[in-house]
Each structure stands twice: as structure tokens, then as C-alpha cells.
């Protein structure tokens, strides 16, 4: 039976694995973590609204009824495309070589500090669950430390949050931190006033949400300003240190800088011996010169109507399902696969608890209605039914009580083991 190896259990990889269930193929899905992460809600874990387990589904639980699918926790270190095999590290000093008939690379993107990798220490980004729990620890600890701090300048720097990058993640984080301070924590402190929290959202370009329609940037910025967020567009962050960052000409004293700016593709292209960067895939999502290798999701570059497709979950999922159709055509009909076509179902970003922006090819709107649509769609796309129910419940609860689901600081140093 032909063997399909999928690298990456994100939206693209998981959609491919699920769609391949109906074909007579064996599937092996390899991921570095044991869970499929619902990345669009990662900012809610980082800001304590949701618990990690509510947006992370164990990949093998999702695929447990797919009897021909094997899930392997491991890190792919390279591809031998000539011999059709991937190299996987499955544990400390343990490697495995897995042969494939078809390979699906759905390895996504990681942060990019545009060459300034030393920024990472002081300005963590938000891609994995480990990142999100670390950022949550930092945000919650900032308030705790300010309550214990007697020095006024240090206290102010401790209550200043800077978000570097005004895309969806920056906008969503800014709104969520503002509400954490102004609503959830309003009554919780005795020495500090959480209302004095300063939140600065910096975007180098001329407007927030550059990937959205220009008409939606201003409503989002207005909404954020109404929540007390300082929105600074057209300003570069040129220096990041332990005690603050340089925004344009000004130094902003802050001990809480979060990187919400650039991403860079994972090394799928290098594995295939192609130029560094995203992989320019062919009409059927296969890699150039390798009809048995498909590259999908954020790491793939695919133009439609003269524009590259955006790095969003919808694109990855549709690509994943397309791969199953392409493999089916090759295997069963021995026919050329159909070309991939992306159907745009819309794109969204949310600002706090009542406001979102929505755009699709035909429709653009913002406000409460968009927020309601955003909430419903995000619940529907969670991978497991129990996640849908508990996230729905948590949102309803939080909406009325203004409390959050998981204001938990878990410091590994707080172990009781001697």
C-alpha cells in the first residue's frame, strides 16, 4: 500500500491526513509536538482567557479512528528526495529513516527578527504553546512584580507593554491585554492601579492590519484607542533591550515587549535543495521537479489572480484537502491532478470582547456583528467536540463575569522537588 508521509500537524497537515482516510494509502504524520494547535486562539492562551488544553488537541486522539495513520512525535532533520525518505529524530540520540511514496511538507513558519536574533531574549514571539505559556507567565508576573515594587520608575516600566507589529496578532494581543488590566484585574490589587497600565502597539507601516482592506484599519485603531491602547503607526522599533525599546526617536521604558511582527518559513525549501524561503509550488501544490512531494500551508508560495495566497488557516486546510485529491488522481486514475484553487471564505481579526473586522471578496464590515461571526466560526473549527463546548462555555462565562479562564503562573522553579 502506498505510503504518504506528512510532516507537520498544523491546519494543513491534519487536513491532509483526514482527507487521505478515504484512499487506500498508509499515512505517517510526524510533528515536533504531540498536539494540533489552534493558532488563531493562541493569543487567548497568552492573555489567560483560555487554558492551553482548550486549543490543543492531541494529534493521535484526532486520528485514532484512522487505522492506517501512524502518528510519530519527532523532529524531521532532512529529506532525501532522491531516495524518497525523511530523516526523523524521535528521541535523545535516536534517529529513524522513513521511506515514502508521497511526501507532504506542512511545516509552517517561525518568528523572524529580521536578522536581529538577540531581540528574541527580550521580545518573545507567539507561535507554539511553549511560547504562549511563557508569554502568559510574563504578562501575569508583570502585574505581580509591580505590586511588590517600591521604585516608581521601575514599577511604571513593569506596567508598560509594547507590541511590535500591528498585524492580527499584535492587534488581538493589545486588545486582550487592555481588557485584562482594565476589566479582569480592576479590583485585584491594593498597591498598584491596573488602570494605569500602558499598552503601546507599534506598526512600521502606515496602518494597522496591513493584510486587510484599508477601510478596516481605522475602525480597528479607533477601537483600540478607545480601550486605552497607544497606536503608533509609521514607526520603526530599532532597538530592544531588557529595560525597553526605541520606537522611532523615543525610548519606551518597558519590561514587557512582545514580538508580533515578522515570520520566516521553516527550512522545507532547503530540505528539497531549493532556494531558501517559501517553496514556489506548481499548479497542483507539488514541488518543482518533484511530483511526489507536496508543500502546503504557510511554507508554500502560490499565486492566485496575480497575488500570493495569505498565510492563514483556511488556505492551509484547503491545500491539505487538495493534496488528497491530487494523490487520488495519480494513484487511482493515473491522471494529472486537478489544479488548486483557493475559495476565500473571509478573513478576520478581533479587538477585545465586542469588536472584530471581517473581510471577504464581497463583504467588509466591522463591529459587534463581526465579533459574533468571529466567535462562532472559531468555535466550529476547533478540532475536538469537547474543546468546542468548553471554549464556548468559557467565553460566555468570561463575557458576563469579566473573569478569565486561566490566570496561572507556573514557574518551573516552583517545583517542590529538592
Q: How many whole angstroms from its chain centre is CA 98?
A: 28
Least distance to a copy of itself, CB of residue 123, Å: 9
Q: How many residues bind a copy of itself (CB under 8 A)?
A: 73
Least Å from the CB of residue 277 to a copy of itself = 17
Parallel, antiparallel or unpaired: strands 109-111 and 263-265: antiparallel
Q: Three-state SS for 350? A: strand
> Distance between CA 154 and CA 86 in Å, rounded?
51
Sign (positive/negative) of CA torsion 405, 253, 197, 185?
A: positive
Name all contacts of 181-185 with Cβ < 8 Å and 24+ positions apart: 181/143, 182/227, 182/228, 183/402, 184/48, 184/402, 184/403, 184/404, 184/407, 185/143
Task: Give every CB contact of residue 31 below 8 A, 6+ residues apart in sequence.
Answer: 7, 8, 9, 13, 59, 71, 72, 73, 74
- Counting Cβ atoms within 10 Å, is residue 172 exposed (0-12), middle (13-18) or buried (19+)? buried
Residue from 21, 101, 138, 149 in contact with a copy of itself (CB under 8 A)? 149
- Shortest spacing between CB 292 and a copy of itself, in angstroms: 23
3-state secondary structure of 362: coil
The closest alpha carbon to 355, from 335, 378, 376, 374, belongs to: 374
Report 389-418 residues binding a copy of itself (CB under 8 A): 389-390, 393-394, 397, 401, 403, 405-418
Binding mask 73-92 for a copy of itself (x = CB under 8 A): xx---------------xx-
Nearer to a copy of itself, 95 or 376 (CB): 95
| Cα radius of gyration (the chain) | 22
Region 159-188 residues binding a copy of itself, contact defined as CB under 8 A:
187-188
Tracing cell 525523511 back to the chain, one arrives at 86
CB of 159 to a copy of itself, least distance (A): 14
- With CB under 8 A as the contact rule, which of the stretches 61-69, 160-168, 331-339, 365-373 interacts with a copy of itself? 61-69
Q: Smaller CB distance to a copy of itself: residue 354 or 390?
A: 390
In residues, how long is the chain? 418
The residue (of 149 and 230) whose beta carbon lies closer to a copy of itself is 149
In the chain the first and final C-alpha atoms are separated, in Å, by 52
Of residues 227-256, which lie at the interface with a copy of itself (CB under 8 A)? none
Name the one range near a copy of itself by CB under 8 A: 65-73, 326-334, 354-362, 367-375.
65-73
CB contact at 8 A, 340 and 296: no
At closest approach, how far in Å is the CB of 376 from a copy of itself?
20
User: Given the rule CB under 8 A, which of 46-54, 245-253, 273-281, 286-294 is the region that contacts a copy of itself?
Assistant: 46-54
Dihedral sign for Cα 371, 372, 376, 379, please.
positive
Query: What distance in Å separates the CA atoms of residue 172 and residue 51, rounded to the nearest whole number?
Result: 17
- Which residues from 106-135 bind a copy of itself, rule CB under 8 A? 110-111, 113, 117, 120, 124-125, 127-131, 133-134
Instruction: Tell me whether residue 53 or residue 346 sits nearer to a copy of itself (CB atom).
Output: 53
Containing H/E element for 373?
Answer: helix 368-380
What binding mask, one character per residue, do residues 2-41 give for a copy of itself by CB under 8 A, x or -?
------------------------------xxxx------
Rounded least distance, CB 342 to a copy of itself, Å: 25
Near a copy of itself by CB under 8 A: residue from 2, 3, 21, 53 = 53
As measured in angstroms, the least distance from the Cβ of 201 to a copy of itself is 20
The single residue listed with the C-alpha cell 462562532 is: 376
Q: Provide the Cα torsion 347, 352, 353, 357; round to 10°.
A: -30
Nearer to a copy of itself, 70 or 354 (CB): 70
- Does position 147 interact with a copy of itself (CB under 8 A)? The reply is yes
Query: How many degrees, rounded to 5, is the angle at CA 328 between CA 325 and CA 331?
Result: 155
- Closest to a copy of itself by CB, 86 vs 220, is 86
Cβ closest to a copy of itself, residue 64 vs residue 361:
64
Question: Within 198-217, which residues bind a copy of itself (CB under 8 A)?
Answer: none
Q: Measured from the CB of residue 304, what is the shortest distance to a copy of itself in angstroms?
A: 28
Q: What are phi and psi of 77, to 5 degrees?
A: -110, -10
Give the residue numbers annotated as catalytic, written as ranges. 172
Amino acid at each position: 500500500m502506498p505510503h504518504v508521509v506528512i510532516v507537520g500537524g498544523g491546519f494543513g497537515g491534519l487536513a491532509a491526513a483526514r482527507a487521505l482516510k478515504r484512499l487506500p494509502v498508509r499515512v505517517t504524520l510526524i510533528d515536533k509536538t504531540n498536539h494540533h494547535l489552534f493558532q488563531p486562539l493562541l493569543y487567548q492562551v497568552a492573555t489567560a482567557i483560555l487554558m492551553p488544553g482548550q486549543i490543543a488537541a492531541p494529534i493521535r486522539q484526532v486520528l485514532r479512528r484512522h487505522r492506517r495513520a501512524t502518528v510519530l512525535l519527532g523532529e524531521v532533520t532532512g529529506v532525501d528526495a532522491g531516495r524518497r525518505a525523511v530523516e526523523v529524530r524521535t528521541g535523545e540520540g535516536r534517529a529513524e529513516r522513513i521511506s515514502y511514496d508521497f511526501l507532504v511538507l506542512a511545516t509552517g513558519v517561525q518568528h523572524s527578527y529580521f536578522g536581529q536574533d538577540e531581540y528574541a531574549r527580550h521580545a518573545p514571539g507567539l507561535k507554539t504553546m511553549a511560547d504562549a505559556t511563557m508569554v502568559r507567565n510574563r504578562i501575569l508576573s508583570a502585574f505581580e512584580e509591580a505590586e511588590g515594587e517600591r521604585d516608581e520608575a521601575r514599577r511604571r516600566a513593569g506596567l508598560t507593554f509594547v507590541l511590535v507589529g500591528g498585524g492580527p496578532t499584535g492587534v488581538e494581543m493589545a486588545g486582550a491585554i487592555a481588557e485584562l488590566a482594565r476589566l479582569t484585574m480592576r479590583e485585584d490589587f491594593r498597591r498598584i492601579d491596573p488602570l494605569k497600565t500602558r499598552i503601546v502597539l507599534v506598526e512600521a507601516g502606515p496602518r494597522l492590519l496591513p493584510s486587510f482592506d484599508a477601510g478596516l484599519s481605522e475602525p480597528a485603531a479607533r477601537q483600540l484607542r478607545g480601550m486605552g491602547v497607544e497606536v503608533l503607526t509609521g514607526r520603526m522599533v530599532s532597538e530592544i533591550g531588557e529595560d525597553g525599546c526605541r520606537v522611532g526617536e523615543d525610548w519606551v521604558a518597558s519590561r514587557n515587549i512582545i514580538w508580533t511582527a515578522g515570520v520566516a518559513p521553516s527550512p522545507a525549501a532547503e530540505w528539497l535543495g531549493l532556494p531558501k524561503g517559501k517553496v514556489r509550488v506548481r499548479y497542483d501544490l507539488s514541488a518543482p521537479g518533484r511530483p511526489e512531494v507536496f508543500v502546503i500551508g504557510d511554507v508554500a508560495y502560490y499565486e492566485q489572480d496575480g497575488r500570493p495566497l495569505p498565510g492563514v488557516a483556511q488556505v492551509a486546510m484547503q491545500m491539505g484537502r487538495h493534496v488528497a485529491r491530487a494523490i487520488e488522481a495519480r494513484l487511482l486514475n493515473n491522471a494529472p491532478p486537478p489544479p488548486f484553487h483557493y475559495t476565500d471564505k473571509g478573513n478576520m481579526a478581533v479587538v477585545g470582547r465586542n469588536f472584530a473586522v471581517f473581510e471577504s471578496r464581497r463583504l467588509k464590515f466591522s463591529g459587534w456583528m463581526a465579533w459574533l461571526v468571529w466567535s462562532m466560526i472559531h468555535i466550529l473549527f476547533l478540532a475536538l467536540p469537547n474543546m468546542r463546548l468548553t471554549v464556548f462555555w468559557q467565553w460566555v462565562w468570561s463575557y458576563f463575569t469579566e473573569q478569565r479562564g486561566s490566570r496561572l503562573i507556573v514557574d518551573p522553579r516552583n517545583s517542590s522537588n529538592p
